Structure 1
Amino acid sequence: MKFISATINGFGKWVDQSFHFYNDGVNCIYGENESGKSTLHLFILFMLFGLPPKQRNFYRPKTSGTLGGRLTLEAKHTGRFTIERFDGVRNGSALCYTEDGSQHDEEWLAETLQGISSTTYQSIFSFSADDLNDFRNMKEDDLGEVLLGIGLTGSTAIQSVEKMLDNKIGDLFKPYGKKPLINQELDQMALLHKEVRQSATEEKVYQNKNLESDKLSQDIQTLEERVRQLYSERMELERKQQALPVMKQYRELRENLNELPDSIPFPEDGLTRYEKVKNEVLPLRSELSFLTANEKTYENRITILLEELPTEERYKKAAKLVKLKEDYTSFVRERENWQSQLNKLQNRLKMEINQLNIGIGMEDLEEFHLPFHTEKNWNQLKTSSSDLKKESIQLQQEQKELTNQRMYMMNQIGELEDQLLDPHHVSKIKEKLRLSTENELIQRLSMQLTKKKIKWEKEKEKKKKYASIGLWGSIFIALILGITAMLADRSIFYVGTVAMLIIGLLQRVLFHRYLDGMEKIIGTEEMQATNIAIEDEERKEAEHLLASYENTKKDIATLEENLKSIELALVKWNEKNKLNKDAHHTLESKIKQQIDLYPFLLHVEIDYWPELYHNLKHIVTLGHEAGEIKENIRLLKEKKKKIQFELNQFSGSENGEWTEKTIKDQLRELELFTTDYNSNLEKIKQYRQQLHENKEQQHAVKEKLRPYETEIKQLFEVAQVDKEDTYYFKARQLQEKQELEKEKTTLARQLNNFFDDQEEDHSLEWQEEELASRSQQIKKEEIELQKNIEKKRQELANIRAEILQMETSETHSYKLHQYEMKKERVNELAKEWAVLKTAKEMLSETKRNYRDIYLSKVIQQTIYYFGFLTDGRYKDVHPPADGQAFYVVTQDDIHFDVNELSKGTVDQLYISLRFAVSEVMSNEFKLPIIMDDAFIHFDMERAERITEIIKRIGSKQQVLLFTCKHNVREFFENENIIRL
């Protein structure tokens, strides 16, 4: 079968893309990382086998809603056909089209693929770099599952059946389980068997109880007859005399009860529960004793071996000496290396010390110390010195500038004071300007007043004219109204005539008053102007002199303020100068202190101290390194002497010729000694393993004992005791108290028949003394009889209650029936479990047979490919077995576990295995092989070899090789290359 083409409508990053594959040889599909190689690989698997809905959603394109496409293949028995699969169509099922136009479903596709599932295909014909990570952990069962998938197309169903059988077997029975059905039934059957045995014992007890009941009845009758005889005698005594024995007995009971504790803690049905647990514990303790005896046997055997074994101290000493074999051979070479380094280092030290030329020698380095803070101190001293120099220069400049400014200000003030006018002359100029200003103001006011008078005269004439018109108008209206009044003879017109005349006259009077007032106002505003007058030029000159005077005064005031600021700045400068001098003294003190510590600094400028520190630090470091090398050389000499001494000391006691042997021969004999020791240790290890298993069995028995011991502990905690004897003592004590309380209740009931108050003791004392002599014998006998009767009646009542319970109970027959039914149920379940177990074993045997059919062929082909890839360095490959992983054998017969191989070698082994599996199956299934960067960790030589194998396989069946490596692509330049 071969891939012809692929059309992707949408899958991951691929949307509306088509790919055409070459029928023959290797299809090398090359693309950079993130170019979509793995997505194309998964698309082919999706078209062949489909994907679950969740995985389909994961590969749904972001830029298209369609997920699916078409894959065209060609097979011998079907010809060319196309697989069409879309997510939203037929729920993701495939639809196949053949060349004759026929359509086929998913089942036809499965038959065409010869029943191979997705898992089987990826196990045989498809693999990637990610599959290499799980190869180190592959076990025998894992390889068997792969080979089973090769040999059986229905391996998935077999695995499902195997899992189903395991689940059913586990649900039925587990050796140490409690939840499985058979385990539960066995526990219930054991409990029923115990109850059946207990009920059988109760039948014998029933017969004994009947005999005991008859005897007690007869005894009670005899006692009651005697009581009746005494009753006739007791009737002769008074009522209180009859009560005396009861009262005495009641007192005794109360005293006995007072002697007992008020509260006796004890579990309910404590004795029965304790006996039941005790019966369960005894067999387990017996088993534990047996295991303990075996433990002692193993320990004795281990002790014998240990006695025959040399002392561990001697073995450790020998093993320690053997480990020094390689060290000894390297001591001389290492010492020469150290000596060479020391010579070079000393020459370098001499050269660097001479270059410094500060008066120190090699011998000074041993006592020379540069604390960690020295560099910081020297840097601070350098910085402080530089800062103080700059500050001194700055202070000198400030002093010069301030002095110059002060002299300049004083000169300026003197010059301005010389330019000032005489104050008297200034006063005259100001007065003259004031009078001139007043005269000008009066003249302007006079001109304004003249203008107002002219304007007022004009308005006055107008107002007089208007007043005359108003007066004559009023007279004219009054005349008309008078004529009308005379003609009409109406009084109202006379009134109007008089009113108009009054209005006209009143207007005239008011107008003249207004004119008089205005004349007075205008007349008072007349002002007398002075005769003082100043020319404009003279006025401007006076104003200029006055303004110059004021400006000069302001300039003098400003200069005086500036002079004060300069004086203040000089004061501050003096303070700064004092601080600078103090800082100079402090710096000189610190410099002197450093020179006292390091005299060579006297000839070095302080600015070079930090640089000198680094050079000195480097020299000191080199000196320390030289000292360390000397120490190493000394230690190597000591180690060599120590090894020689230890070897002589170790074997000197064995034979006298030991010291004459070489160290190599001595170490060889020590190796033989340690080998024998380890052999004996292995035997001890085996016995200790058996001892460990024995302890685990003891632990299991102790685990079974723990619930019973816990229950016993709980019973003891409730009873507040810590041992068995005390527990039984408390049980008896509780029983005694219960019996006394019961008897006390009975006596109290009897006393109620005689007295209203049971505590009426004093009223009977006289009777007891008086009647003691004549009723003592009767009372004693009566008391004894009463006790015996009550006791036997109680015993009889208890026995009859037990007999009644036994007669009405069918427990034995019911329990026996239940036990037989449970036994039959267990037998049925056991048969079912045996059938399932047999089926499981048959299935496992079938799987082993199929695995064995193909395993030898696969491993043989794997050896061939692996030897070719590794250039013949490995001659054999062994598959996983007995829980171990793959291991290989070199040409030198050295065995390497797969975990001991390099990453590249493991990858070569895995790819050899996959190629072998594919080749073994090529006779039955001619399916294309897909590889996705499977040899990414190979170097150029191995990559070239693997390409030869791939080309050889490609000549037989189609191969799709996905790669992002440029060098891999170059190996297939003559092949079919598809670029993404």
Structure 2
Amino acid sequence: MKLIEVRIYGFGKWVNETIPFSNEGLSYVYGKNEAGKSTLHQFILYILFSLPPRKLQVFKPQKGGAVGGSLVIETLDSGRVTIERQPDKYDGEARCFLENGEEKQESFLKEILNGIDRSTYEAIFSFGLHDIQHVQQLHSDDIGDILFGIGMTGSREIYDVEKKLEKELDQRFKKQGKNPQLNQQLVSVKEKEELYQASKQEEEQYAYLKHQEDELQNKLASLQNSYKDVEASIDRLERKQQAVQPLLAYQELREEEKDIGEHLTFPENGVERYYHLKDQYLPLKSELEIIEQNERTYRDKQNELDEVDVRILESLKELEQEKQRFDVKKEQRDQINQELEQRKKKLQEEVDSLGIELTMDEIATIHFPFYIEEHWQMLSKQQRDIDSEDEQYQQQKQVNKEREHQLISEKETLEQSLLSEQEYNDYQEEVDRQYQKEIQQQVDNQHKQQQDSLKDYRRRAMTLTNKLLVGVFAFAVIGISMSFLLNNWWLGGGTVGLFGIVVMAVTIIRKSLPGVDTSIGEEIVDRNEPSTTSLTWYKEQLATHDRIKTELDQVFNQLQQLQGEMMKLDERFASLDRQRQRFYQQVDEQMELHPFLRHVDLDYWPKAYQKVISLKEAIEHVRQQEQDVQQLNTYISSYEQQVETLANQVDVDKNVSIEEQENRLFQHKAFIQKQLELKETYSEWLVTIEQQKQDVQEKIKPFEEEIRKLLRFANAEDEEVYIHKGNKVKRLHDIKNQKKQYYEQLYSIYLNNDMVESLLSSCLDASSIQQERKEMANHKQELSEQIDSTRQHLSDIVSRLRTLEGDESISKYRHELEFEKSLLKEQAMEWAVYKVAYSMLRNTKSKFQQERMPMVLEYCKQFFSILTNNTYVHVFVPSSEEGLVVQTQSGDRYTANQLSQGTKEQLYVALRLSLSQVMSDQHGMPFIIDDAFVNFDEDRTKEFLSLLTNISHTQQVIVLSCRQYIQDILNKQQIIFL
């Protein structure tokens, strides 16, 4: 494949540019810094391999325009092909146009590239200055991976399989790991072994724990009795402690009540009533004073105002009303003038932008039939439909071919997967035999489950009756203790009788429990012998055989159906071709009628019609606006004359502008209006104030009379005596209420009036009560801790006993241990399978790399020797973990990082050229070098260019550089100037 020409619509700094390349020999592209060489390189890669939207955004033209372009290439099979790619067309996919006019999709481009993707192309056929820095880091495995990746079909899948195998092996086993599957399973087997050994020792602890249970129950009953006695004592002390504060407060209030006395003459709620009257009286009094002050102020201001001319005021009002219309008209005129200027300029620009050789006069006089727009839309739609159907035909044809190959491949694969007739009969007999055995096993398992349920029921019944006996025993102990305390022998006798009845009932229930048959479990174990091959496996093989036969029939039917669809598709394409010919004839007729359509693409004919009609309407609108401006100018002149007339009447200076005259006239009008408004306002206010004054005086009289009545009732000379007497009455009422509250608090503590009355005459010491309560609380805490400790110890022992009584852990742990060992064996087999597959894949990959690596190093040795003028004669890689090593004529060896910068770059260039040469037979792609010889001196540059010239005889080479002296070395015909 060779690059012939680059056509850039818009990409970075490049807009509407065409750059041709030399068809023969070396193509040298020269340009200074920032000339766009790297952008040109990226454009070529974008057309061939596309770019993600985020990365493509960087190359969007700064001045706007469409992104994309096309490449013209030449191939051996298809001749000259034009590859076009734009992000806003065909979802960013490329379109290929052949010399015969045929259009191909992006799949055709991928066929031309022969499996090369962007990363592979940049690794072999393209490099720049920044790539050279990594030469000392290249190992044999890196070069081998490149060769393997581009030299084998499906290498991506092989790489994925290799990584998947590595992941599976790491997930299953590591020598020092903890999380892998096999490591965890080994730990699980060890834990199950330890649990099985520990369960054997637990059976010996049952007798010892039973003796401890009896001792702890007796100790717990004794501690609980002592705890109840302490609680009763604490309750009595708490009652006394709660009563100390309300008792002292009650006694203090009783003494204060005696000092005040009980016979005082005072109105009910007298203080509150007095303050309430004062709160209403004082604001009214203050309001009356303010009203009188305002009345004096308004009369003084009213006398200060001058007389005004009312006729002048009316004329000014009319002028102000007209001013609003004047401003609107003037703004309309200015706006219309501005719009007219913009519209005329825009119309001319729009006419020029049409590019269809029509003037404004022609547009104004042009006429179209009423149906022409719909006719052009129909033609545009026909073109899109024809193109769409043609594209669908090509796509469907390709899909049918791929589907036919796929069905044939599926048919062959399915036929190979069928069982032979003998195998099918043998598997069917084995399924019948194991099915009978499985039915018998299910019957045995069902019987065992019934026995397990009975055993569990018996265990739960025993546990429940044990708890019942313990509870009734505790209740009997409490009842007997209460009978001794209360001296009630009937209570003790009844408790003992109840305990005896419960014991008899528990004995009867335990005897009535069903027995458990333990022999059935041993019989099931004997019959459950493992079979070499499970019934499920045979069923799966037979089901797979039947499914494959059904799929074969379906594939055969699909093949026949596909052949019929392909015949129908060819008939539809012939009909499409006839439709295309009729369409071309109609388009030619329209171009004859309207010659300007020859300059417009058919898809834009309807838009061209709308644009021409829109421009014609805009021109008519401009002419109407010019008439409107003339009318507005007449009105504005009349208004300005009226302003000058009024200015003479009020002595306004004529030498100022119309706007200033207007402002002074309106200021004079505002002054006159303000004078009139103030006079009217002051008159209204004086009338209002007089009425307010009378209203307030009427409101004050009732409050003054009510205050005098309160003072007379309390025999008080003034307000101070009245308030002091009222406070005494209020305090006496509060004392009675507080005494009642404290009495209720004492009653809530003892719930006995006699005890409260006796307490009111006694004296309590809060400190002694607190000390005694603290001592009893400490004793209670000690007893509680002992009870909790004893109860917890007893609970642990009882729980342990119940666990031992119903424990089947020995059998359980033995079966779990065997199961974990079996699972460990299966996982080890899976790990071995993955290990063998991974080793085979690594060997295959290594063998393929060894076949291609010597050829790469041989080319690299030749090229490196030429570039260094035979200073270095050999290049090799000692091992996969080491970098490149070179050897001089004298036999000295150097690693890549021991070489000078220029020699490193020569070594890297030689290696990239050798990779390209090895792969050029299979992938004949252009070789692009982007300024990769910055550190070459003039002699090295000459050798490098000479080598590239030789290579360009068999493979196209494109060099991008800013080195001007190279122009003297190369033929001018080989240089492309940017």
Provide TM-score, normalisation by structure 1. 0.39
The structure whose Rg is larger is 1
Provide TM-score, normalisation by structure 2. 0.39
